[in-house]
């Protein structure tokens, strides 16, 4: 998978931030460009992991409501 990454230097944090707009703006940071990109790749992989089956089977009490705005 190839995605766009916005890589910026954050003067206040003194670190690089890496953000992926195509994937709900998931982002990460690092002391170098390479660190920021590696950390972002890890964050994307975690985000794309399937939800474990045992969490899908949980039957928690829930209430479905409607909200008019």
| pTM exceeds cut of 0.75 | no
Q: What average pLDDT does range 11-27 have in this prediction?
A: 93
- The reported pLDDT for the residue numbered 17 is 95
- How does residue 56 score in pLDDT terms, banded at 50, 70 and 90? low
What percent of the chain lies above the pLDDT cut of 70? Answer: 83
What secondary structure, in 3-state letters, does the chain show?
CCCCCEEEEECCCCEEEEEEHHHCCEEEEECCHHHHHHHHHHHHHHHHCCCCHHHHCCCCCCCCCCCCC
């Amino acid at each position: 998978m190839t995605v766009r990454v916005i890589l910026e230097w954050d003067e206040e944090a003194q670190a690089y931030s890496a953000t992926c707009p195509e994937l709900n703006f998931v982002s990460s940071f690092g002391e170098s460009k390479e660190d920021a990109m590696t950390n972002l790749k890890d964050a994307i992989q975690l985000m794309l992991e399937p939800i474990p089956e045992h969490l899908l089977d949980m039957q928690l009490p829930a209430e479905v409501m409607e909200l008019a705005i």
